[in-house]
Structure 1
Amino acid sequence: MTDPKVTAPALHVNVGTSRLHHATARTRLAAAADGVGFSSAPGFIGCNAPVVDISYEPQFVSISGIEVFVARGRPPIWDSYCAHAQLVDEDTVADAEAAVLVAGVRTAEREWPGLVLALSYAPSQGGFAPGVLVVPESQVAFVGAGTTLRAYGIGPEVKEWWRDEAELGFWSWRQHGSTVVMSAEVELAAWDTDGTKLWTRFVEPPWSYSVSGQEVTLDVMGTVRTFDLRSGA
């Protein structure tokens, strides 16, 4: 049964290379459930996601009247994006080990992205690719890059909602009905699609999880346990 709170599919964008996880063919660049996305990972497959080369020129994907762009660095028209945006989140540092995620979100009523961001992130190698998940119904954008996690309201007022951290590195976002799940190197956590944090759990690689209905099955180093998707208990 479709969750009544989510009537439109999520928009999920990943930037980076694929990474095999827990000795399976599932890459951590899996698209959000019922969503669409794109990745620069060679051979990436998921929810009809086209494979593109994310470069300094922004790459765009849209769904339900919302358009997201991503790039590996500031594009030539970065100043124009900033001049037209309602919120610019620019947080970059000079670090040889850090990469820069540039992204923007434009809703249907805007000619230019209302939100643009440029975030330095590390780790940025070995499969630690950033990801953006946008939930059209709640107008919330979830961003993960390196150890940085952020959420933004994208309309009608664009604003930053919260900042959090993913210890040792972000892996991916996935939406399961009205719940958004974040996978990281040593953490599995969940938020409501409105941005409210629900729970977090410590994990150790190799680990994997799956969701069936409202039940989460978590396998950590061969030890399997189940718990409720919404409560985490």
Structure 2
Amino acid sequence: MFYSTVGKYTVSITTDPEEIAHKLARSNVVVHKHIESDRNRDDQAYIAIGVTDCGHAADLLFEGWYFPGPLSGFHPGVLIIPETATVFIGIGEDAYTYSMAPIDLIAKESAEAGFWYWSRYGNTVLMCAELELSAWSLDGKRKWTRFVEPPWHYSIESDVISLDIMGDAVLLSLETGENVKIDE
């Protein structure tokens, strides 16, 4: 079991299904998300993510089997925005956002070909996936998405994303995702 704290929220993560009953589950867990999977796949993995604002037992419990998994190079990611009480979870080919006050699913979106990671820049959260770069509001709603393909990377200066896809560079507005032209 791994624990981390962000603001008043504690995140608990395990890859062992046996730890759910003993450490994360409680009778009044508000949300339970079970991810269905083909149990015959070699690249699947189990994950349980619990989030609470008091103690170790989960108020939000997200658990189940997913793919693509670590054997294919894809690992789950969690980002919490304490000021909006929003939880971002990326796993396999899916991205979820939840409100913690009250606990509710805000959105479920795709993470094209496999989730990579979340990053926060001011009032914007970026989700990186194998074939996608997308921006989200701090309250968990997707603002825009853009197709990418490896190798790709980005950097940010002010509110402008410099996105390099296979050696071709483009400048994007962090807020809208639209192309930006910089006056020289």
TM range (shorter): 0.7 to 0.9
Which structure carries more relative contact order (alpha carbon 8 Å, separation 6+)?
1
Once the two structures are TM-superposed, the CA of residue 101 in structure 1 deviates from its matched residue by 1.6
CA contact (8 A) 1:88 1:117 kept: yes
Q: Which residue of 2 aligns with 1:172?
A: 117
1:114 corresponds to 2:47: no
What pairs up with 1:184-203 in 2 under 5 angstroms?
Answer: 184-203=129-148
| Compared CA separation, residues 138 and 186, structure 1 to 2 (3 A) | same
Once the two structures are TM-superposed, the CA of residue 167 in structure 1 deviates from its matched residue by 1.7
Q: Deviations over 1:1-49 (max 9, x none)?
A: xxxxxxxxxxxxxxxxxxxxxxxxxxxxxxxxxxxxxxxxxxxxxxxxx
What pairs up with 1:148-227 in 2 under 5 angstroms?
Answer: 148-155=94-101, 157-227=102-172
Q: Which residue of 2 aligns with 1:11?
A: none
| Compared CA separation, residues 111 and 203, structure 1 to 2 (3 A) | closer
| Residue aligned with 1:137, SS | helix
Query: Quick check: which one's strand share is greater?
Result: 2
CA contact (8 A) 1:132 1:173 kept: yes
Once the two structures are TM-superposed, the CA of residue 90 in structure 1 deviates from its matched residue by 1.8
Matches of 2:20 and 2:144 in 1, distance apart?
39
Query: Quick check: which one's helix share is greater?
Result: 2
Structure 1's unaligned 5+ residue stretches are 1-57
- After TM superposition, the runs of 4+ consecutive aligned structure 1 residues lying more than 6 A away are none
Once the two structures are TM-superposed, the CA of residue 76 in structure 1 deviates from its matched residue by 2.9
Once the two structures are TM-superposed, the CA of residue 82 in structure 1 deviates from its matched residue by 4.4
CA contact (8 A) 2:50 2:57 kept: no
Choose which of 55, 61, 77 in structure 1 pairs with 2:4. Answer: 61
Code of the residue aligned with 1:132 in structure 2: it is V
CA contact (8 A) 1:142 1:151 kept: yes
RMSD over aligned Cα atoms:
1.6
| Residue aligned with 2:149, SS | coil
| Compared CA separation, residues 68 and 179, structure 1 to 2 (3 A) | same
CA contact (8 A) 2:107 2:141 kept: no
1:90 corresponds to 2:34: yes
Q: Which residue of 2 aligns with 1:74?
A: 17
Matches of 1:169 and 1:77 in 2, distance apart?
25
Matches of 1:69 and 1:172 in 2, distance apart?
18
Once the two structures are TM-superposed, the CA of residue 69 in structure 1 deviates from its matched residue by 0.8
Q: Percent identity over the alignment?
A: 32
| Compared CA separation, residues 223 and 69, structure 1 to 2 (3 A) | same
| Compared CA separation, residues 95 and 151, structure 1 to 2 (3 A) | farther
Once the two structures are TM-superposed, the CA of residue 111 in structure 1 deviates from its matched residue by 6.5
| Compared CA separation, residues 158 and 175, structure 1 to 2 (3 A) | same
> What TM-score results when the alignment is normalised by the length of structure 2?
0.88
Matches of 2:64 and 2:121 in 1, distance apart?
27
Matches of 1:171 and 1:76 in 2, distance apart?
25
CA contact (8 A) 1:74 1:102 kept: yes
| Residue aligned with 1:201, SS | strand
Q: Deviations over 1:184-206 (max 9, x none)?
A: 01100010111121110001100
Code of the residue aligned with 2:51 in structure 1: it is V
CA contact (8 A) 2:6 2:80 kept: no
